[in-house]
Amino acid sequence: MNFEREVKKRAEDKCEFCAQDDHLEMYVVPKTPEYIEGQDTLVLACKTCVSQFDDEENRDANHWRCLNDSMWSPAAPVQIMSWRMLHRLKSFGWSQDLLDMMYLDEQQLEWALAAGDAEDKTDAIIHRDVNGVILKTGDNVVLIKDLKVKGSSLVAKQGTAVRRISLDHENAELIEGKVGPTQIVIITKYVKKI
């Protein structure tokens, strides 16, 4: 059986979230239980929706107001992704209002919870650069001032790029990276993401 054809038929050849009808692609719903197979693991979504599912930094909250309609879809994978996106946008009042109206049965709720979107992340450590931009492991940053490296005669000059940083998981103000051959710890208020 051609699952893609069945999903396109179900979606009427439109994004199952925002109803856009171009640049469509199949998206496999992450953390799908093993007992769910075939078309029930897929959604048809536009490039904009797919690109914003996991990219928190570039997510356009206004685009996701379309969840007001898609959350009522009879298709379980669309309901699951709608629920997850509403949780990812929980800081906006309208999102919480929609979540309060939404109903998932016990199995669907278990599936939706599997991605961890409903977990309380208020205690999560978030690393931010001097401009407040969120830093992630593997990002590249540039120093915004000359920094004397403790315990050595090295001075890391302003404008020096530090590639593929790693984060200190216990302190939001510290990152690590290489300046030349030396691995150093840097305070986040002295770097800017590039």
Which of the two residues, 91 and 63, has the higher pLDDT score?
Answer: 63
Question: Do 167 and 75 reside in the same domain of the chain?
Answer: no
Q: 55 lies in a domain? A: yes
Question: Do 63 and 142 reside in the same domain of the chain?
Answer: no
Q: 171 lies in a domain? A: yes
Strands of the 182-187 sheet, one edge to the other: 166-167, 174-179, 182-187
Number of folded domains that form the chain: 2
Domain boundary among 113, 143, 175: 113
Q: Compute φ and ψ for 192, nearest 5 degrees.
A: -130, 130
Question: Do 64 and 153 reside in the same domain of the chain?
Answer: no
Token readout for 46 is 């536009």
Q: Do residues 142 and 194 touch, judged by C-beta distance below 8 A?
A: yes
pTM above 0.75, yes or no: no
* 133 CA to centre of own chain: 14
Domain boundary among 91, 113, 135: 113
Domain limits for position 167? 127-193
Q: 121 lies in a domain? A: no
Q: Compute φ and ψ for 57, nearest 5 degrees.
A: -65, -35
Instruction: Note the pLDDT tens digit of each residue in 88-108.
Output: 888 788 898 999 999 999 999
Question: Do 89 and 139 reside in the same domain of the chain?
Answer: no
Domain containing residue 132: CATH number: 2.30.30.40
Q: 122 lies in a domain? A: no
Domain boundary among 62, 81, 113: 113
Question: Do 12 and 69 reside in the same domain of the chain?
Answer: yes
Share of the chain above pLDDT 90, in %: 64
Q: What value does the mean pLDDT of the chain take?
A: 90
Question: Do 30 and 98 reside in the same domain of the chain?
Answer: yes
3-state secondary structure of 150: coil
Over 90: is that where the pLDDT of 57 sits? no
Q: 56 lies in a domain? A: yes
What is the distance between the alpha carbons of residues 141 and 165, in angstroms, rounded to a whole number? 8
Give the pLDDT band of residue 151 (cuts 50, 70, 90).
confident
Quote the pLDDT of residue 54. Answer: 86
Question: Do 175 and 104 reside in the same domain of the chain?
Answer: no
3-state secondary structure of 94: helix
Over 80: is that where the pLDDT of 159 sits? yes
**Count of other CB atoms within 10 angstroms of residue 34:** 5
Average pLDDT over residues 119-123: 59
